[in-house]
Structure 1
Amino acid sequence: MTNSVLCIIYVDIEHILYIQHNFLAMFTKTLGATSAHLLTALAERNQLVFSITDAQEILGGSYNAALLALGRLTEAGWLVRLTAGRYAIVPLSSGDAALPQVNRYIIARELLGESPYYISHESALDIHNMLTRPITRVIATTPRRLKKREIMSMSYRFVSAPLSSLWGYESNWVTPYEQVNVSDLERTILDCLNRPDLCTGISQVAVGLWMRQDDFKWDILGHYTQKLGRHSVAQRLGYLLELFDLGTPSLIENLQKMVASHYASLDPFLPAQGPYLARWRLRINIEPEALETIVRT
């Protein structure tokens, strides 16, 4: 190992120790020794979401004592209660002693508890590096009916769907320590084509297709489209694939077989205007040139 590498490691260790010292000093001054010990221990474990039992284990007292301590920290704004018995640390905004931000997708997973789910639509685009703008909401698909939540300036929206429609997803690492369920590339595109309003419009779907064009399994995309059985999705997908010269001839041929007799809008959440395209039974309410400019910019 070279001296430069040793130096970097040494500096990193010193920085970590400095941050941990600041954690303890600042928290003890503002919260008291017990609360400071709890927050510092959780941060050192990278356990930003935790249970009452976790807190009890760290504090070493009774369950009720841990519950009271968590109640005080929540009231003071240091913690946020996610579900019954589950809490997340609220990060400090800045400074060397700032707590790290809890991953938004981990919070979504915690809000759902034991319910089946997958992170979907524009949130899945984000995880798969198919999104070109910051997001202010997290979307998950689940059979469970949940109201929208606002937690730490992030909106959490849950799309209700029958259990039988939860397919085409995988486990994905969103931190070095935590995984969530997220729709795979192919299912992500289909979900967004089905609900463009949940992924900022058809133009973002086109961007995602273009950005990850080398990673799609076109045969799986075709199989998924047939399994989903939505004619409008097949029509939009076929149009975009032809516009950007993507996919395979067999996929285009199979999508053509799914074209319905009635017309659908390319983006159903934009005004119903523009020319009709008979090949895909679509009303093209976004100019192709505009889509190409957005995708290639």
Structure 2
Amino acid sequence: MKKPKLTTVLRAAGDVIHIDDAARSLAISRVQAAKTLSAWAAQGWLQRVGTGIYAPVSLDMRGSDQTVTDAWLLVPALFGPAYIGGRTAAEYWDLTEQLFRDIVVFTARPIRNRIKESGGAQFTLRQISESRIFGIKSVWRAHTKVSVSDIDRTMLDILDDPAIGGGIQHVADCLDRYLRKNDSKPDRLIAYADQLDNGAVFKRLGFLAERHQLGAALVTACKARLTKGYAKLDPTLTCDRVVTRWKLKVPATWIGVSSHD
């Protein structure tokens, strides 16, 4: 049975507990609160998920390898201001049926390592400026409001960095589903890309859209925004062919292949 003081803290804090939550709800100093939370973690009631940040452990998980039931709950506390995006958001918006182990997070906080494990989950981090956090939806997970890129910003982010989209082939597959979905807004995708102001996005998007039977409007918009210089379709791949009309370097296997089917 949980301790009365712990119950008080959980009711006040919600899904994730900070030292200040414990200090405020128990009317004790931050030093006392930190010691109390640490003791509860040692007893298995809480799990430390970050500096001064704890998550409750369910009764059936006590004494076992502890994992947070919903790792999305940790994102605001560990990385905020931040949003969930990339291939993780692509799963959320049904742009893919592929499942990924990690959770992709775009954060305005400084990061030392791109990979962080906490609460039994693996987070892949990408640092961006706070001014570039736009095109975001708020979703409720338990009692915590979490930010996730909307469907159009999700598509933009994986075009900007195909690696966080699971690679360019997966990005192309996501674009196929994006163009077929009623809730996607290609005009908003272009507006977001204008705001991001990365010429490589228009080159990749134009090239991929040209190969799709529903991509004509995107092709026109991208052609009007071509910038000088050449970009790679996927910077992680060997791109030994040049598509001059899109100023894009692509792998040889992508020449002459259509996605109209």
Q: 1:155 aligns with which of 100, 117, 122?
A: 122
Percentage identity across paired residues of the two chains: 27
Whichever residue aligns with residue 88 of structure 1, its letter is A
- Cα distance in structure 1, aligned partners of 2:254 and 2:44: 48
CA deviation vs aligned residue, 1:155-199 (integer Å, no higher than 9, x gap): 2233222232222222123x2533212222222111111111122
Whichever residue aligns with residue 276 of structure 1, its letter is V
RCO greater where, 1 or 2, for CA within 8 Å and sep 6 or more? Answer: 2
- Cα distance in structure 1, aligned partners of 2:206 and 2:61: 47
Q: Determine whether 1:135 maps to 2:103.
A: no
Whichever residue aligns with residue 99 of structure 2, its letter is P
SS at match of 1:212: helix
C-alpha change, 1:247 and 1:203, in structure 2 (3 Å) is: same
- Cα distance in structure 2, aligned partners of 1:80 and 1:146: 22
Whichever residue aligns with residue 136 of structure 1, its letter is R
CA deviation vs aligned residue, 1:81-140 (integer Å, no higher than 9, x gap): 234543112457779xxx99432222111103xx43222222222332223333232222
**Larger helix proportion of the pair:** 1
Shift, 1:56, TM fit: 6.7
Task: Tell me if structure 1 keeps the 8 A contact 2:211–2:258.
Answer: no
SS at match of 1:276: strand
SS at match of 1:118: strand
The match for 1:241 is 209
Unaligned 5+ segments in structure 2 are none
Instruction: Return the index of the structure with the highest Cα Rg.
Output: 1
The match for 2:138 is 171
- Cα distance in structure 1, aligned partners of 2:57 and 2:112: 22
Q: Determine whether 1:209 maps to 2:175.
A: yes
The match for 1:119 is 84
- Cα distance in structure 2, aligned partners of 1:280 and 1:260: 9
The match for 1:190 is 156
Q: How many residues align?
A: 253
Unaligned 5+ segments in structure 1 are 1-23, 25-32
The match for 2:42 is 75
Task: Tell me if structure 2 keeps the 8 A contact 1:145–1:158.
Answer: no
Q: How does 1:1-297 map to 2 (within 5 A)?
A: 24=1, 34=3, 38=6, 42=10, 47-52=14-19, 62=28, 67-90=34-57, 101-112=68-79, 115-148=80-113, 149-173=116-140, 175-213=141-179, 214=181, 215-249=183-217, 251-273=218-240, 275-285=241-251, 286-287=253-254, 292=259
The match for 1:4 is none
SS at match of 1:197: helix
C-alpha change, 1:265 and 1:92, in structure 2 (3 Å) is: farther
- Cα distance in structure 2, aligned partners of 1:65 and 1:153: 27
Shift, 1:225, TM fit: 1.9
Task: Tell me if structure 2 keeps the 8 A contact 1:186–1:220.
Answer: yes
C-alpha change, 1:67 and 1:131, in structure 2 (3 Å) is: same
- Cα distance in structure 1, aligned partners of 2:12 and 2:33: 18
Whichever residue aligns with residue 168 of structure 2, its letter is I
- Cα distance in structure 2, aligned partners of 1:157 and 1:230: 22
- Cα distance in structure 2, aligned partners of 1:280 and 1:169: 29
